[in-house]
Amino acid sequence: MVIKGNVFPVAKKNVMAVNLAVENYNKKKCSIKQRELIHVNSSRVDNSDERLIDRYRQIEKADVVFPVVMAVERLLLLLLMGLLAAAGGHDRVVGVSIAAGVSLVHNEDASKEKLGLLTVHCADKLSFMEISTSLSSTADEPHIDVIQDAKLTPPSFHEDKALQMELNRLCLVVIMIINVVVLIQGWRCHGCLEEERTALLQIKDAFNYPNGKFLSSWGKDANCCDWKQVECNSSTLRVVRIDLSYSRGWEVGDLLLNASLFLPFPELNSLNLYGNRIAGCLEKEGFERLSVLGNLETLQLGQNKFNGSILSSLGGLSSLKYLCLKNNEIKGAISVEGLNNLTSLRHLRISSNHIEGFKSFHGALLLHQALYNLVFTGGEDEPLKLSNLEYLELRGNRFDNSILSSFKGLSSLKNLDLSKNQLKGSFNMKVLFSCNPELEALSNLTKLYLSGNEIDEFVFSSRDVRGFGKLSRISLFNITSNRRRRISHSLVQSLAKFTLLKTLDLGDNNLEGATLAQGELQYPCSLKNLQKLDLSSSTLDNSLLQTIGRITTLKSLKLNGCRLSGNIPIAQGLCELKHLKSLDISNNSLSGALPTCLANLTSLERIDLSSNQFVGDISSSPLINLTSIRELRLSDNHFQIPISMRSFFNHSELKYFFGSNNDICEEPEEYNLIPKFQLERLHLSGQVYGGALPFPRFLYYQYNMREIYFYNMKMKGGIPNWLLENNTNLDELVMVNISLSGPFQLPNHPRVNLSHLDISDNHFDSHIPAEIGSYFPSLTFLSMSKNNFSGGIPSSFGKMSSLQVLDLSENNISGTLPPCFSSLPLVHVYLSHNKLQGSLEDAFHNSFELITLDLSHNQLTGKISEWIGEVSHMSFLLLGYNKLEGKIPDQLCKLDKLSYIDLSHNMFSGDILPCLKFRSSIWYSYLRTYPDRYLIREPLEITTKSVSYSYSTSILNYMSGMDLSCNYLTGEIPLEIGNLPHIHALNLSNNVLTGHIPQSFSNLSDVESLDLSNNSLTGELPPGLVQLHSLAVFSVAHNNLSGRTPAMIPQFSTFNQSSYEGNPFLCGPPLSRNCTPEEEAPSLPDVEESGFMDTYVFHVTFAVTYIVMLVVTAAILYINPNWRRSWFHFIQQSINHCYYFFVDNLLMPSWLDLRNFCVDILACVVFLPFKFKTELNLIVQVMSENLCCALYTSASFSLNGQ
């Protein structure tokens, strides 16, 4: 920053020079300890300046960081300019010329930025003030270039001393301001502290031990304050929040935590370790080490494997206000000492463990067993002494009624959750007051949750009732053992004593007998303040609909899923609840038209009628009179809904309209009518009457739409351009299966708020717009599947920097996979059933978050790239029906979350990898706690049970399998494949696999489809296969198997002959070939033991051997004359025998020269002494002349026939 100017005259003696240089080391390692004040030189500095510089040094030593934003700094500079201008306002000032800018001064290695020299001169004559400062600056700070010139009347040299003193003091103020600005610039820190950055990297290493790849983004940026899951204080730049929830996969195993890793963060306020399978802490490195962190207020330890010992180590964290220990392995009776030390605690969650009570374990360890036995002998629990506790969540444990004595010291408690424990019978409130009558333990209690217990009644005295005067909500969901028993009358009567009760939850219970309807809760004697009543998913009588009107104070009523049927009663009942604002009667079997008396509910703001059997035209229903409606849900009925929605034009409050799965009809639109409502969410679908529907014109007047869902209808044309132009806040646009056609047109301006676009299953054609990524840069979900799009995938997809789900399947898209995919945070990719070509080399090499990759049914070539092993979250990999080749890469063994892999119908060769792993079903229990992006978003087509099915997302979450069929895989089936008990489908058919079927296949307990057909497998079928009770499809056809078929018991009795055909040595049912009990598999020639016989090789080797034998025989006869004479004598005798045999027994044809024929059959006699054997048993040893004669006879008959 450079400021130059000719300023005002001051006293000559007051000449001051302040030379200030501050060296700022590398901004990436900015820390107060690395900065020092190098030089201060003053020819004359008065006491005030000296004290100021000393104060700066003290601040420096105290490690105080001043990351003042540029706006504040500019404000100080403007203040300085204003002071100078004010001084120049006198008619004696020569002038002011100020230039401000930002500059960087780098040293030779360009690794440091220096703060230059500041010099200020003030003189009594026409003086000169020059400030030349080179300040550390970041690249993103704005450049300022302001030049202001003002030429004023020069001052007189002879000036009164009063004015000179005033200007002298003003000069001093200016110098001090400049000093502050310079020091602020010098102390600007460009990131977190180095020691904290190093500590975070150590945490990353600890969480990745021994071979994890978690927290991958940590360390890429020098400023750890910008790292994901890390938050820093805006003033001190120290880390105040670390969120490590689900940062470590459960498949890695248990983790012993070193709590000391968090000590370098003295200002840490919140630490989240949720869901990391932490089984405890290292010895002497537990949470007691964190007692020095005086700012730690929030600690999340849920979804781990901590046991009861964790509580004692937390006792020193006195600053804690929020503690979560839910979903751990804390069992039995736990000590209250550690908890009672947390005096600042306001929120405690230890739900979903196996805790049975609170006990005191102080004193000798020998008392442990005795105290533990008290849990089972009925002793009272020790009280919790947490006077500041406001929220206590104990749900999902094993507490019984004795737990009530532990609440005597919780005077500030407002919310108490005891749901899903073992409370039974009477809930005795007197226990809370039995010890100290003066202490009203739960006097501030406002909400009490007892769902999932077996409460029959509340027992308390009249004084106890007054003690619970603030109780406004009681939750009693499922207190009838999943509706196996009816709710007790005494419970309903005792509830009436809570006269200030405003919310009552009785859902998921058996309320048959209509205790409410029979008038046991009669207004105004009881529940006169009740405003919300939830009876959802309960078993009710229809009579309740008639008597519910007695509780006239109700504002919210939930009767969804209560098995109600028939028509809504016209008299009394619902129509009497004139204060009702929310009504939910969805998921019942109510039918008929809506009663006209519903128009009396003029206060109604939300009504849910979905999933019933209501009929009628809503344009003539009482709904058109409820002008206060904000949310209207009509889905899954038989309503007739006009597409124009003209009947609701006067509903100015209407925001949400859900009309899916009804009958959509066309209604004449009046173009001069403008609706008063401004919808935000609109859902419409269903059967269309009267042909294709026009696009509803009322949407032209909507400007606040956030969701539009149109699906399973028949509409005309395409998406109007004005729909996207008018609704700039549109977040989700779904137009699925509504017969839209033509090219897909982009809006005139980019829509940066649109995150979800689904136009699948339509008739769009032409190319995907080239600039689609520029106009929808914020999309996280894009589906254009099942259309007629052609051409390539535009490179502008790379501008969708938030895209996680991409579905372009079932189109005519061609070309190669664009490299821009690698720069996107893709999680699910569906590109199947297209005409894509090229390789996978560069398409997804940086997409490390991929979970689903479906590229099946294309024309891809080349090999599977090695980067596939780095995609650690890969769950579904479908590459079938392509032209991929080479060996299956070993990198696939790194994918430990695989659910399904399909490499079928390619040209892969080599062996099957024995190291492939598939995730277990345990993994799914944690799937719900993962972010939504980890969930499967679109159906997948998977071939199993010999048929290709499109599996929905809900089923895919439980699907696992492997399809390697129709390749050129060789070798034996690895034994390890049989050790995948959670696999559901295994297809290895149509390969060249050899060897035996592994005995370990009997371990595939969950397999439903097993296809090993069309290979060259040998040996017997493993008898343990009969233990596969889930098997529905089984085939080993067309192999070289032998022995017996599996016993025809449960599953195998359903398989017919086609499962075994093509195995000539198999016997037993269902095959027609029977086998005796002692029958064994026939021994096959050696050439077959290898698994197959090459016919071409056999013929060649046989011919060569034949010729060699002839040559060897001729050579022997030529060399040895004795053997030759004997051989020819034998030949002559054989010919004579044949001749006389035929003359005596057969009529010879006249045209045949017998002698010549006998010479022709010499070849037969030549080989009589030899033995030959072929695989087909066609050549056998000729033992006598009679065989040769028989051959002659056969030949004669053949010639006679011709």
Mean pLDDT across the stretch 366-371?
41
| C-alpha dihedral sign at 75, 77, 79, 81 | negative
Q: 186, 209, 231 — which closes off a domain?
A: 186
Q: Is the pLDDT of residue 610 over 70?
A: yes
- Least confident stretch, 463-467, 769-773, 891-895, 1191-1195: 1191-1195
Domain membership flag for residue 110: yes
How do strand 18-24 and strand 113-115 relate by DSSP bridges? antiparallel
Q: How confident is the model at residue 465 (pLDDT cuts 50, 70, 90)?
A: low
Domain membership flag for residue 1173: yes
Quote the tokens at residue 1202.
């011709």
Mean pLDDT across the stretch 1050-1070?
90
Q: Is the pLDDT of residue 97 over 90?
A: no
So what's the pLDDT on residue 922? Answer: 40
So what's the pLDDT on residue 946? Answer: 61
Quote the tokens at residue 56.
């700066």
- Least confident stretch, 222-236, 651-665, 795-809, 1137-1151: 1137-1151
Return the CATH number at 525: 3.80.10.10
Domain membership flag for residue 840: no
- Least confident stretch, 475-484, 849-858, 952-961: 952-961
Higher pLDDT, 608 or 951: 608
Note the pLDDT tens digit of each residue in 999-1045.
Answer: 999 999 889 999 999 999 999 999 889 989 889 999 999 999 999 99
So what's the pLDDT on residue 440? Answer: 58
The per-residue pLDDT of the chain, averaged, comes to: 77
Three-class SS state of 405: helix
Classify residue 244 by burial, with Cβ atoms within 10 Å: 0-12, 13-18, 19+: buried
Range of the domain at 1191: 1100-1201
Q: Spell out a b/e string for 325-337, using b for 16 or more CB atoms within 10 Å of the CB, else e.
A: bbbbebeebbbbe
Mean pLDDT across the stretch 1144-1167?
50
Q: Is the pLDDT of residue 616 over 70?
A: yes
Q: How confident is the model at residue 37 (pLDDT cuts 50, 70, 90)?
A: very low
- 356 contacts: CB under 8 Å, gap ≥ 6: 331, 332, 333, 375, 397, 398, 399, 400
Three-class SS state of 357: strand
How do strand 18-24 and strand 36-42 relate by DSSP bridges? antiparallel
Domain membership flag for residue 23: yes
So what's the pLDDT on residue 1125? Answer: 80
Quote the tokens at residue 837.
């070509």
Percent residues over pLDDT 90 in the chain: 44
Residue with tokens 């995948």: 980
Q: Is the pLDDT of residue 64 over 50?
A: no
Distance between CA 742 and CA 718 in Å, rounded? 6
Taking the C-alpha atoms of 1174, 1178, 1183 and 1185 in order, what is their torsion angle to the nearest 10 degrees?
Answer: -140
Q: 553, 570, 604 — which closes off a domain?
A: 604
Mean pLDDT across the stretch 519-542?
75
Q: How confident is the model at residue 670 (pLDDT cuts 50, 70, 90)?
A: low
So what's the pLDDT on residue 264? Answer: 94
Note the pLDDT tens digit of each residue in 968-996.
Answer: 999 999 999 988 878 889 999 999 999 99
Domain membership flag for residue 500: yes
Model pTM above 0.75: no
Quote the tokens at residue 495.
């509830």
Note the pLDDT tens digit of each residue in 269-302.
Answer: 999 999 999 999 999 899 999 999 999 999 999 9
Higher pLDDT, 1146 or 846: 846
Domain membership flag for residue 692: no
Q: Which amino acid is at 1080?
A: E
Determine the distance from the C-alpha atom of residue 532 to the mean position of all C-alpha atoms in its chain, rounded to a whole number.
35
Q: How many domains, in total, are found in the chain?
A: 3
- Least confident stretch, 80-89, 348-357, 757-766, 1128-1137: 80-89
Nearest to 700 by CA among 673, 681, 667: 673
- 588 contacts: CB under 8 Å, gap ≥ 6: 559, 560, 561, 562, 563, 564, 565, 611, 612
Q: How confident is the model at residue 29 (pLDDT cuts 50, 70, 90)?
A: very low
C-beta separation of 817 from 793 below 8 A? yes
Domain membership flag for residue 238: no
DSSP, res 106: B
Residue with tokens 């990131």: 191
Mean pLDDT across the stretch 1148-1165?
48
Q: Is the pLDDT of residue 69 over 80?
A: no
- Least confident stretch, 98-102, 563-567, 569-573, 648-652: 98-102
Q: 186, 209, 238 — which closes off a domain?
A: 186
How do strand 631-633 and strand 656-665 relate by DSSP bridges? parallel
Mean pLDDT across the stretch 360-387?
55
Distance between CA 894 and CA 874 in Å, rounded? 10
Mean pLDDT across the stretch 705-713?
94
Distance between CA 989 and CA 1010 in Å, rounded? 9
So what's the pLDDT on residue 5? Answer: 39
C-beta separation of 296 from 265 below 8 A? no
Mean pLDDT across the stretch 434-463?
76
- Least confident stretch, 382-391, 590-599, 970-979, 1192-1201: 1192-1201
Quote the tokens at residue 1100.
């060649």
Mean pLDDT across the stretch 484-488?
81
Note the pLDDT tens digit of each residue in 395-448.
Answer: 999 999 888 888 888 889 999 999 999 999 888 877 665 444 444 567 888 999
Quote the tokens at residue 620.
């003539």
Q: How confident is the model at residue 956 (pLDDT cuts 50, 70, 90)?
A: confident
Domain membership flag for residue 1152: yes
- 995 contacts: CB under 8 Å, gap ≥ 6: 971, 972, 973, 1017, 1018, 1019, 1091
Nearest to 1091 by CA among 1025, 1041, 1154: 1041
So what's the pLDDT on residue 120? Answer: 38
Whether the upstream peptide bond of residue 743 has omega within 30° of 0, thus cis, is no
Three-class SS state of 1190: helix
Quote the tokens at residue 165.
């003193």
Q: Is the pLDDT of residue 171 over 90?
A: no
Q: Is the pLDDT of residue 101 over 70?
A: no
DSSP, res 282: -
Element (H, E) at 186: helix 161-186
Nearest to 1155 by CA among 1170, 1131, 1136: 1136
Higher pLDDT, 642 or 103: 642
Note the pLDDT tens digit of each residue in 867-909.
Answer: 899 888 888 999 999 999 999 999 999 988 888 999 999 999 9
Note the pLDDT tens digit of each residue in 1080-1119.
Answer: 444 444 434 344 445 667 778 888 888 888 888 888 878 8
Higher pLDDT, 888 or 541: 888
Distance between CA 1015 and CA 996 in Å, rounded? 11
Q: Is the pLDDT of residue 93 over 50?
A: no
